[in-house]
Amino acid sequence: MSAVAIEVAGLRKSYGAREVLHGIGFEVRAGEVFALLGPNGAGKTTTVEILEGYRRRDAGDVRVLGHDPSRAGSEFRARIGIVLQSSAVYHLLTVQEIVDLFAGYYPAPREPGEVIDLVGLAEQREARVRTLSGGQLRRLDVALALVGDPEVLFLDEPTTGFDPAARRQAWETIRDLRSLGKSILLTTHYMEEAQRLADRVAIVVSGRIVAEGTPAQLVAADRDATAIRFRLPAGVEADQLPGGLAMSVGGDGSVTAEASDPVRALHELTGWALERGLDLDGLEVRRPSLEDVYLQLTGDAARTSEEANG
């Protein structure tokens, strides 16, 4: 297996006159979880469906396991596993039966029973598919994607519509898959999901990748400084706060300081408070999260495209 599972360069796609992908490029290395993170309509599903072989691209180079998906046949599809955005299953079969059915499609399938256990449906094995909950149905989708023992897995919004408990369970399953050595391309519009699961993330907005890197890199590259917050101590006026920090005082008495050097800033602030014997109620230091970065980037991109469209 090559060190690169998926290569995409200059990928363009239009539906009619509307161009939805304006030259997307990224690489998924073998064995890593790569997330395409973006709002609805950003072009994530179009990208994934081109890689799965469902859609044709207008321009660009695409290689999945060395194949061009638009021309690849059964041999290629035997090596990939697909979880589509919406579940698609035979409602009248049992979990065991539908996994058996799909296992038969592949040249070297995994043991259906093992796959059912892996996704946590052992208790539902003999249940008809139509009796499953939404979360269980999604896990069945994952089982069907896994049963062919694929090298690359495509998970298109695998947890959309889940309650928090089901989402956490799904994350466990995806982490297990990663430990099996699968390369995984995941799309999501949940920042937390990308942050928790992905080795690397590309943020997609309006058909372009606006940022790419590990979750930590994306956060580090953020222009926003660390935020220090506390409540204005009683009897202290805004103009009595230490002058070395750029602070803003809200009407409710909360103070926010933006610090590019948070260690020094905290030292100065806490020193100031200790000297005066003051408590700093509600003191918190917050590094920007991937969510902050994401919101900023998607906001910027939306503004840019609005300006471009005049």
Partner 1 sequence: MSAVQLTLHQFRFDQKTFWRNPASVFFTVLLPVMFLLIFATIFGNDRIEELGDLKTTTYYVPAIVTLAVVSATMQSLAISLTVDRENGLLKRTRGTPLPSGVFIAGRVGNSIVVSVLSLALVSALGRLIYDVAIPWDHLPAVLVTLAVGAASFCCLGFAITAAIPSEDAAAPMTNFALLPLYFLSGVFIPESEIPSGVLDFANLFPVRHFFEAFFAAWDPATTGAGFEWGHLAVVAAWGLLGLVLALRFFRWEPRG
Residues that bind partner 1 (CB under 8 A): 52-54, 74-75, 77-78, 80, 82, 84, 86-90, 92-93, 97-98, 101-102, 104-107, 144, 148
Nearer to partner 1, 59 or 92 (CB): 92
CA atoms 263, 268, 269, 273: torsion sign: positive
Nearer to partner 1, 36 or 84 (CB): 84
Say if CB 21 and CB 70 are below 8 A apart.
no
CA atoms 47, 108, 72, 8: torsion sign: positive
Nearer to partner 1, 87 or 296 (CB): 87
CA 203 to chain CA mean position, Å: 9
Pairing of strands 208-213, 284-286: unpaired
CB of 168 to partner 1, least distance (A): 26
Three-state SS letters, 279-292: CCCCCEEECCCHHH
CB of 108 to partner 1, least distance (A): 11
CB of 114 to partner 1, least distance (A): 19
| Cα separation, 69 vs 78, whole angstroms | 12
CB of 32 to partner 1, least distance (A): 22
CB of 89 to partner 1, least distance (A): 7
Nearer to partner 1, 121 or 259 (CB): 121
| Cα separation, 45 vs 35, whole angstroms | 12
Nearer to partner 1, 140 or 202 (CB): 140
